[in-house]
């Protein structure tokens, strides 16, 4: 069938560079994968059990479009307790199918054709495409290793035009693990307030912060009115496959998003919502245990990478490290392909997360210490062979 | 009965504890408790200390008896001819003035067949875990050694039919990674 039937903007979308490595890696044997962007833990049992129970009780019908009110209340309690930002569960919270859907409908609710959205790269692969699909124009700004992959207020200021409508920020960041602290967020907020820009703040990794508690952009003075706080259960509660996220923000925006959600999704899966409710009520200990484990693995991997000659920042959060591979003289893709071929270790080349990721690779440490140890041994052998 | 429970609670509170441990020592204990084979170099990288410092911490914790030993959890049921038999025995005893339950407990835990002894609150006093080659061997231990001790009032023996989980480890766990190889 001819592609002439396909929408132009869909034809123009670049396929994700991650796909290529998935195809390569899945054909090989004995691969140690540091390419997985999700927890290696299974969802805490109490959450699974609560979801079973809801099914046994017959909770198999739709919920309210915005999600179970009980769950929205648990979310507002959590946001209040964890970040000191208060939202009204009735009309300022929307439960979504993963944080990804929240990002999609936030953009669709905000953008008119041609509106510009600032995207800070390196970043999660979906942002730019989601902006394009919503009729907007992504304008990229590069966070560089000189500033530990943290975007600065000046860089954002320089990217602002009279068409700028919004910015997508992700802290702690995928793929760099960089965390913007309260001071840095406050400087950025001044630019956003000055130019009347809406912030879509992807805080899905907020709980996975290892050195200090993460600050939400919505906590920063003057930002709650212009921030769509997006988070979910995937990363902190190891619930990626449940597809459950949420957005909290100003009433008008959340209501507009709910309108799109109501016509396209109806509501997030009911059994997943019951699981999420249990996660928020009784899941703290599990999150703390997993966070401790990630912190130890982060320390281990950063030390091992620096020892083998791949310079690597100690990232503050998420479960990724983003070492430089420039010492080998290879491009990110060459490095990743050769490493897979010669030592059967899968990593993701940094350039798939944006041009400024060139010269870097993303290694996920959401893998057992035994596997990480094996991966570091293999990588060390590889680097020794290829370092210039 | 109530007096008995209170006595046990007060008694447990008085047990010697290793106090004042650093956060990193707690972290080290938890790591080793989960995997006694983790080497000091790996632990060092995980908790941001040198391997020498980790050795030193381990030596200190051993000296303070926070670390009592290192063992491997073996699923003997999967080793032909070594399957063995295990039982949990509820033991009611008469505490002895001045030494409480300690003396009788020590009479019991010194038998090599005894793998664990706990002082319990509730309907009985000591929970004794016993392992043997055959059911007959365990029965003989209970009838000849355990129930004949002076202060033992009664015993109830429960043979273990199958072990599902022990010390936090699930015996028939499916540990396949169900994730895709590379994801965003």
**Which residues in A have their CB inside 8 Å of a CB on B?**
16, 18, 21-22, 25-26, 31, 33, 35-38, 40, 124-126, 174, 292, 296-297, 299-300, 303-304, 346, 348, 369, 373
Element (H, E) at A75: helix A69-83
Report the SS3 class of residue A27: coil
Output the pLDDT for position B16: 43
CA distance A263 to A285: 37
B168 inside 8 A of chain A by CB: no
Mean pLDDT of the A334-346 span: 96
Please give the interface size between A and B, counted as residue pairs whose CB atoms are below 8 Å apart. 59
**What would the pLDDT profile of B1-45 be if each residue is shown by its tens digit?**
444 554 454 444 444 444 568 899 999 999 999 999 999 999 999
Query: pLDDT averaged over chain A?
Result: 96
Output the pLDDT for position B4: 52
Q: Contact B182/A292, CB-based, under 8 Å?
A: no
CA distance A77 to A201: 19
Output the pLDDT for position B10: 46
**What would the pLDDT profile of B35-74 be if each residue is shown by its tens digit?**
999 999 999 999 999 999 999 999 999 999 999 999 999 9
Output the pLDDT for position A14: 86
Question: Which long-range contacts link A148-154 to residues 24+ away (Cβ below 8 Å)?
Answer: A148/A178, A148/A313, A149/A122, A149/A173, A149/A176, A149/A177, A149/A178, A149/A313, A149/A315, A149/A322, A150/A178, A150/A180, A150/A184, A151/A120, A151/A180, A151/A188, A152/A184, A152/A187, A152/A188, A153/A184, A153/A187, A153/A188, A153/A190, A153/A191
* Cα R_g (chain B), whole angstroms: 21
Q: Which residue has the higher pLDDT, A86 or B173?
A: A86
pLDDT over threshold 90, residue A237: yes
**What would the pLDDT profile of A246-289 be if each residue is shown by its tens digit?**
999 999 999 999 999 999 999 999 999 999 999 999 999 999 99
Output the pLDDT for position B98: 86
pLDDT over threshold 80, residue A240: yes
Distance from CA of A38 to the nearest CA of B (A): 7
Output the pLDDT for position B12: 46
Output the pLDDT for position B22: 87
pLDDT over threshold 50, residue A333: yes
List chain B residues with CB under 8 Å of A369: 38, 42, 46
Tokens matching residue B14: 């008085």
Q: How many CB atoms lie within 10 A of CB A66?
A: 26
φ/ψ (deg, to 5) at A187: -65, -40
pLDDT over threshold 90, residue A112: yes
Best probe of the B interface among A22, A126, A296, by most B CBs < 10 A, is A296
Tell me what percent of the residues of chain A surpass a pLDDT of 70.
Answer: 100
B31 inside 8 A of chain A by CB: yes
* CATH architecture of the domain covering A3-43+285-386: Alpha-Beta Complex (3.90)
pLDDT over threshold 70, residue A148: yes
CA distance A343 to A230: 38
Q: Look-up: residue for tokens 């600032």?
A: A118
Tokens matching residue A189: 């907020």
Q: Please state the domain extents for chain B.
A: 22-72, 76-166
- A21 vs B31, B46, B182: nearest CB: B182
Q: Please state the domain extents for chain A.
A: 3-43+285-386, 46-282
Mean pLDDT of the B76-95 span: 93
Output the pLDDT for position B11: 44
Q: Which residue has the higher pLDDT, A106 or B96?
A: A106
CATH class label, B22-72: mainly alpha
For residue B173, give every residue at least 6 positions away whose Cβ sits within 8 Å of its Cβ, in sequence order, or none. none
Output the pLDDT for position B19: 55
pLDDT over threshold 90, residue A24: no
pLDDT over threshold 50, residue A152: yes
Output the pLDDT for position A224: 98
- A296 vs B47, B180, B181: nearest CB: B47
Mean pLDDT of the A234-240 span: 97
- B181 vs A35, A124, A292: nearest CB: A35
Distance from CA of B95 to the nearest CA of A (A): 38
Q: Structure pTM?
A: 0.91
Best probe of the B interface among A14, A35, A350, by most B CBs < 10 A, is A35
Q: CATH topology for A46-282?
A: 3.40.640
Distances (CA, A) of A292 to A173, A205, A222, A317: 18, 14, 33, 12
CATH class label, B76-166: alpha beta
Is residue A22 within 8 Å of B180, Cβ to Cβ? yes
CA distance A204 to B70: 39
Output the pLDDT for position A59: 97
**What would the pLDDT profile of B104-149 be if each residue is shown by its tens digit?**
999 999 999 999 999 999 999 999 999 999 999 999 999 999 999 9
Banded model confidence at residue A17, pLDDT cuts 50, 70, 90: confident
CA distance A97 to A267: 8
Q: Contact A26/B38, CB-based, under 8 Å?
A: no
Q: Contact B180/A36, CB-based, under 8 Å?
A: yes
Mean pLDDT of the A188-196 span: 98
CA distance A172 to B115: 48
Output the pLDDT for position A388: 84
Mean pLDDT of the A64-68 span: 98
Is residue A279 within 8 Å of A44, Cβ to Cβ? yes
- B184 vs A25, A33, A124: nearest CB: A124
> Model ipTM?
0.86
């Amino acid at each position: 069938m001819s592609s002439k039937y396909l929408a132009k903007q869909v034809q123009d979308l670049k396929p994700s560079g991650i796909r290529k490595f998935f195809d390569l890696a899945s054909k090989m044997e004995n691969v140690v994968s540091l390419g997985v962007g999700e927890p290696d833990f299974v969802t805490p049992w109490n959450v699974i059990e609560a979801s079973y129970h809801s099914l046994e009780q017959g909770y198999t019908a739709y919920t309210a479009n915005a999600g179970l009110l009980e769950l929205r209340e648990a979310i507002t309690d959590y946001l209040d307790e964890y970040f000191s930002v208060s939202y009204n569960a009735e009309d300022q919270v929307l439960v979504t199918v993963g944080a990804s859907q929240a990002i999609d409908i936030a953009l669709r609710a905000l953008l008119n054709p041609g509106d510009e959205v600032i995207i800070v790269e390196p970043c999660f692969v979906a942002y730019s495409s989601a902006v394009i699909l919503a009729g907007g124009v992504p304008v990229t700004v590069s966070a560089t290793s000189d500033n530990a992959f943290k975007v600065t207020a000046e860089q954002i200021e320089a990217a602002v035009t009279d068409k700028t409508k919004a910015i997508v920020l992700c802290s702690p960041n995928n793929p760099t693990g960089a965390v913007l602290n309260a001071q840095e967020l406050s400087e950025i907020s001044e630019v956003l307030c000055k130019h009347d820009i809406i912030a879509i703040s992807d805080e899905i990794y907020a709980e996975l912060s290892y050195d200090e508690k993460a600050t939400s952009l919505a906590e920063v003075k003057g930002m709650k009115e212009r921030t769509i706080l997006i988070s979910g259960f995937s990363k902190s509660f190891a619930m990626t496959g449940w597809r459950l996220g949420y957005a909290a923000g100003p009433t008008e925006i959340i209501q507009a998003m709910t309108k799109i959600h109501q016509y396209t999704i109806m509501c997030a899966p009911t059994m997943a919502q019951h699981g999420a409710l249990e996660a928020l009520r009784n899941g703290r200990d599990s999150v703390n245990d997993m966070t401790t484990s990630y912190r130890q693995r982060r320390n281990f991997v950063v030390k091992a990478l620096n020892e083998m000659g791949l310079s690597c920042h100690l990232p503050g959060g998420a479960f990724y490290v983003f070492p430089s591979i420039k010492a080998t003289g290879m491009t990110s893709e060459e490095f990743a392909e050769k490493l897979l071929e010669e030592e059967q270790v899968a990593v993701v080349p940094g350039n798939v997360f944006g041009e400024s990721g060139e010269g870097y690779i993303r290694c996920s440490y959401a893998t057992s210490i035994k596997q990480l140890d094996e991966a570091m041994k293999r990588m060390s052998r590889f680097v020794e062979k290829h370092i210039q | 009965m109530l007096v008995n429970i209170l006595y046990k609670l007060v008694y447990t509170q008085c047990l010697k504890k290793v106090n004042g441990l650093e956060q990193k020592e707690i972290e080290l204990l938890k790591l080793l408790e989960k995997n006694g084979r983790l080497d000091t170099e790996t632990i060092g990288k995980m908790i941001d200390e040198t391997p020498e410092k980790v050795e030193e911490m381990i030596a200190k914790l051993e000296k303070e008896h926070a670390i009592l030993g290192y063992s491997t959890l073996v699923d003997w049921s999967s080793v032909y001819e070594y399957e063995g038999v295990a039982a949990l025995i509820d033991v009611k005893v008469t505490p002895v003035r001045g030494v409480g339950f300690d003396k009788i407990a020590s009479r019991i835990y010194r038998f090599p067949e005894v793998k664990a002894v706990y002082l319990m609150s509730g309907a009985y006093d000591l929970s004794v875990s016993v392992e043997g080659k055959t059911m007959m061997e365990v029965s003989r231990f209970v009838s000849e050694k355990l129930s004949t001790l002076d202060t033992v009032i009664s015993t109830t023996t429960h043979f273990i039919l199958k072990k599902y989980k022990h010390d936090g480890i699930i015996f028939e766990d499916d540990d396949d990674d169900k994730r895709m190889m590379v994801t965003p």
